[in-house]
Amino acid sequence: MMFIKKIGIDLGTTYTLVYVPKRGIVINEPSVVAISVLDKKILAVGDEAKEMIGRTPDSIIAARPLKSGVIADYKTTESMLKYFINKAVGGMKIFRPEVMIAVPAGITSTERRAVIDATLNAGAKAAYIIKEPIAAAIGADIPIGSASGHMIVDMGGGTSEIAVISLGGIVANTSVRIGGNKYDTAIAEFIKKKYNLAIGERTAEDAKIKVGSAQFLPKESRLSMEIKGRDMVTGLPRTIVVTSDDITEALQNELQGLIVAVKSVLYQTPPELSADIMDKGMVLSGGTALLRNIDKLLAQATGVPAYVADDPLLCVARGTGIALENLESYKRSILSAK
């Protein structure tokens, strides 16, 4: 039995990933907790709890304790962290692991304190905080310590973090509350308006993944799928066919918001570093980087080449793990709290 002393956690709005050095990602589960209304007891966490969303009786609520990457519900977050940490160390209560958690770059000191306290209370021996864009860049194999500019666009479920990094620090950044969840809501709203059909967030997410595209696809490669929902007029179940064009249209507003945010970071970037970024392009990470053609859309809108990182979903978690293994070399990029 290997004693796990270090754990990296990508505490996301929609998913929490746990990384253990030498073993890689050991947990990748939704950041959802199912709570019983009567005695506030936690009934399930992660995959099991997500299954309950939108399907629970009144006596159970399925809650997401994080909103836009920050803790919205402290007690629930703590219980969720405890569950994930215990699951990662395999119930070895004797050893308290050191934990590094990735947080949005725009987080306030109060919010940061809350993450550290929740982590320590959940059973960590020491807690370290790393900013998400830095963790994403490390996980995407960007040499963040070098004296040249690197641009990372980390698009998660609750927020998109855009940053230019040089010498291990963030030179220019912004964090916008545009992410996968917003896209799902936009799709559900669009389908309601266009087809008079009410669909749940899971169906919307499914449509985004299966046929979604950030740009309109040429006629011959257009995608379509059947989705089921409730007819707004008759109140009865109905099936419709949605196309990739529907999804692209539904996402226009949110995608424009993302483009504006990326441009604002490019405007704040010192000219020396802008030249580096033109050469190397921006790297896209996070689950939303998997949306078809989002790299093409950003490249066209900004004139800067855009590349999707390998396994974009795992970049932040992997980065927290690498940073934990090499604390010394990443000292400048990490805030620690015992």
3-class state of residue 237 by DSSP: strand
Mean local confidence (pLDDT), 304-329: 89
Q: Hey, what amino acid is at 11?
A: L
State pLDDT tens for residues 265-296: 999 999 989 999 999 999 999 999 999 999 99
Same domain? 220 vs 204: yes
Same domain? 212 vs 257: no
State pLDDT tens for residues 73-120: 888 888 888 888 888 887 666 678 889 999 888 788 888 888 888 889
102 φψ region: left (φ > 0), alpha (ψ -120 to 50), beta (else): beta
261 lies in a domain? yes
Q: Hey, what amino acid is at 39?
A: D
pLDDT at 338: 46
36 lies in a domain? no
From the list 166, 90, 127, 132, the residue with the least C-alpha distance to 324 is 127
Same domain? 192 vs 327: no
Q: Hey, what amino acid is at 318?
A: R
Same domain? 20 vs 73: yes
pLDDT at 1: 46
- Strand pairing of 6-11 and 169-176? unpaired
Same domain? 238 vs 257: no
84 lies in a domain? yes
State pLDDT tens for residues 224-237: 999 999 999 999 99
Same domain? 155 vs 303: yes
* pTM of the model as a whole: 0.88
Same domain? 200 vs 321: no
List the domain range (segments joined by +) for residue 244. 180-250
**Cβ 102 vs Cβ 9: under 8 Å:** yes
- Tokens linked to 143: 């040499």
In whole angstroms, give the CA distance from residue 121 to residue 119. 5
Same domain? 104 vs 26: yes
Number of domains observed in the structure of the chain? 3
Higher per-residue pLDDT: 223 or 57: 223
For residue 242, what is the domain's CATH number? Answer: 3.90.640.10
